[in-house]
Amino acid sequence: MSGLKLRHARTIIKKALARGRELDLKPLSVCVLDPGGHTVAFEREDGASALRYKIAHGKAFGAIAVGMGSRAIFERAKQQAFFIQSVNALCDGALVPSPGGVLIRNKRGELIGAVGITGDTGDNDEICAIAGVEAAGFAADTGEKDAKFFAGGSGVGVSGGR
């Protein structure tokens, strides 16, 4: 398996923050996790609030824990609030169901980690996450297909699997 290395995490963070500056977003915080949910790297911009590490970590950790991007978790929370609340309890409150948590997949589609970004809107956080993941040469899995499934859209609907 092509693994996520510290150098990749640093590239993800650097490009995500650069994209945030290009878009003139609020101060961002970026957390990159390995597939076991362990922090590989974290960085916050000046002016980011104190809770931002936990939020960024929660977006990435939730994506790893549930096996889908946090956008899909967000949509599922709208449809099945009690289920997501229960999963969050099982995660000791570490799951943040808001866009900005993106799974990182290698060229073979294998899960190698996740990135969580917070600071601006969930949509903007996700844009920056995708930019970072792609700059490191990996595929960003936002959960968009899963999100469409849970919202009743036309996406391919498989819960947590590819």
Q: Residues 114-138: pLDDT tens digits?
A: 999 999 999 999 999 999 999 999 9
Instruction: Check pLDDT > 60 for residue 1.
Output: no
C-beta of residue 112 within 8 angstroms of C-beta of residue 106: yes
pLDDT at position 54 is 96
Q: How confident is the model at residue 148 (pLDDT cuts 50, 70, 90)?
A: low
Q: What is the mean pLDDT of residues 44-49?
A: 96
Residues in the chain: 162
Phi, psi of 57, rounded to the nearest 5 degrees: -60, -45
Q: Average pLDDT of the chain?
A: 90
- Tally the C-alpha atoms within 13 A of residue 6's C-alpha that lie toward its C-beta: 0
> What pLDDT does 161 receive?
37
Write down the pLDDT at residue 153.
Answer: 52
How much is the average pLDDT of 77-87?
A: 92
Q: Give the span between the Cα atoms of 76 and 81, in whole angstroms.
A: 7
Q: Are 117 and 69 in contact (CB under 8 A)?
A: no
pLDDT at res. 158: 33
Give residue 77's Cα distance to chain centre. 16
Share of the chain above pLDDT 90, in %: 83
The answer for 23, left when phi > 0, alpha when psi is -120 to 50, beta otherwise, is alpha
pTM here? 0.88
